[in-house]
Chain A
Amino acid sequence: MNKCEDKEVAFFGKITAGITHELKNVLAIIRESSGLMEDIISISPEAIVKYQEKIQNSMIRIKEQIKRGVNLTDRLNKFAHSTDETIAKIDLQETIEQLVTLAQRFARLKHVELKTVPPSQEDPPVTLVTRHIQLQMVLFASLECCFTVMSGGGEINIGIRKLEGKNTVHVVCKGDLPGQSEFSRNISESEKWPVLQEIADCLEGSVDLDETAHGIVMRFPDEISR
């Protein structure tokens, strides 16, 4: 058993609580929209004509929320299946995109917008043989580190770069941020930083502060030793 496995349950709880909370909002909008149509229909046949626009808008809202709900359940389902194999061959970009969707709500609560940086068309997809759930944990921990020092909100860009043959994930924070040295100090003093380092270590990777931008750089091996 690796030392990060005991953190997996808490991570699972946090992510599923976030997604199910968002699903409740989806259901709440569907309930109110269908309720509004029901209210109008029950007034009189004339009301249906009078409030036609409200009925149409309600139907559009319901369709949009169903789409949002399906997307959330798809992501939640994929997330749940990331424990199917302890060590698996995964697509790094796909994992980042998955994690960003799962973390959107946490970011929104901090007034932060999360964006993935699309990989270069010339580069082949980056695949890793690693602990999938812990890879998501380390990515999430890096975002949490950024959240702690972005009190004024902003934007986080997360993407892959293949540097000197190493699989590198760059997390870059933008917004009303302090200078580079203060930003780096704040991140390294945040309570999430040691957690991030520990999980990166479990994945036989490394984590550093980005010396060229307000951000974090993580490196992961092609394959971890079993």
Chain B
Amino acid sequence: MKNLKILLVDDEEEFVTTLAERLELRGLQARTALNGEAALQMIEADTPEIVILDVLMPGIGGFEVLRRIKAQHPQIPVILLTGRGSEKEGVKGMGLGAFDYLMKPLNIEELIKKMQEAIESQP
């Protein structure tokens, strides 16, 4: 897990930058993207080992970003973040190829555990 290259995608800048700082304190390499377009460009420029992706964003939404990631880089595990109270979005995302989903507000230990599971499940 140490030095794991993570891409965090969320339009809430303060959320995503603070989360990145917390992950970096734990020895992980976290980069941030504030929208789907930027995320896809960053993935092409420097492929991350895992993507943490918000579902609801302006422009290209999370599900569309997920579809494109899975089409171009099926090996990258994606964990979705959802602000909805129900599990509907998460379940839909898993149907589209997401490894798992988490609800906001996040529990960082739970996120790290999910990331570990996702990396370990890689062939």
**Interfacial chain A residues near B14, Cβ < 8 Å:** 29, 33, 61, 65
A25 touches B15 (CB 8 A): yes
B22 touches A35 (CB 8 A): yes
A111 touches B59 (CB 8 A): yes
The distance in angstroms between the C-alpha atoms of A109 and B11, with both chains bound, is 10
Task: Select which of A21, A58, A61, A111 is within 8 A of B56 by beta carbon.
Answer: A21
B84 touches A21 (CB 8 A): yes
Prevailing SS type, chain A contact patch: helix
Task: Select which of B12, B26, B84 is within 8 A of A29 by beta carbon.
Answer: B12
A25 touches B59 (CB 8 A): no
Task: Take A25-B15, A39-B25 as given contacts and tell me if A32 and B106 are in contact as well, using a CB distance cutoff of 8 Å.
Answer: yes
**Interfacial chain A residues near B22, Cβ < 8 Å:** 32, 35-36, 39
Task: Select which of B26, B83, B85 is within 8 A of A25 by beta carbon.
Answer: B83
The distance in angstroms between the C-alpha atoms of A35 and B106, with both chains bound, is 11
A108 touches B106 (CB 8 A): no
Say yes or no for B121: interface residue by CB 8 A criterion: no
B18 touches A36 (CB 8 A): yes
Say yes or no for B108: interface residue by CB 8 A criterion: yes
Measured between C-beta atoms, what is the minimum distance from B34 to chain A in Å?
A: 12
Prevailing SS type, chain B contact patch: loop
A-facing mask of B24-37, CB < 8 A → 1, else 0? 01100000000000
Say yes or no for B94: interface residue by CB 8 A criterion: no
Measured between C-beta atoms, what is the minimum distance from A22 to chain B in Å?
A: 8
The distance in angstroms between the C-alpha atoms of A65 and B13, with both chains bound, is 12
Say yes or no for A56: interface residue by CB 8 A criterion: no
B15 touches A28 (CB 8 A): yes
A110 touches B105 (CB 8 A): no
Q: Which of A168-186 contact B (CB under 8 A)?
A: none
**Interfacial chain B residues near A30, Cβ < 8 Å:** 105
Measured between C-beta atoms, what is the minimum distance from A129 to chain B in Å?
A: 37
A58 touches B18 (CB 8 A): yes
Say yes or no for A117: interface residue by CB 8 A criterion: no
B25 touches A40 (CB 8 A): yes
Measured between C-beta atoms, what is the minimum distance from B59 to chain A in Å?
A: 7
**Interfacial chain B residues near A32, Cβ < 8 Å:** 15, 18-19, 22, 105-106, 108
A36 touches B21 (CB 8 A): yes
Measured between C-beta atoms, what is the minimum distance from A186 to chain B in Å?
A: 20
The distance in angstroms between the C-alpha atoms of A110 and B61, with both chains bound, is 11
Task: Select which of B26, B58, B85 is within 8 A of A108 by beta carbon.
Answer: B58
Say yes or no for B68: interface residue by CB 8 A criterion: no
B18 touches A61 (CB 8 A): yes
B58 touches A111 (CB 8 A): yes
**Interfacial chain B residues near A17, Cβ < 8 Å:** 84
Known: A24-B105, A31-B106, A32-B15. 8 other contacts (CB 8 A): A21-B84, A29-B12, A29-B18, A32-B108, A40-B25, A58-B18, A110-B58, A111-B58
Write the residues of chain B forming the contact surface with A, with a CB cutoff of 8 angstroms.
11-12, 14-15, 18-19, 21-22, 25-26, 56-59, 83-85, 104-106, 108
User: Which 8 pairs between the two chains have the least Cβ-Cβ distance?
Assistant: A28-B105, A32-B18, A31-B105, A24-B83, A28-B104, A21-B83, A27-B105, A29-B15
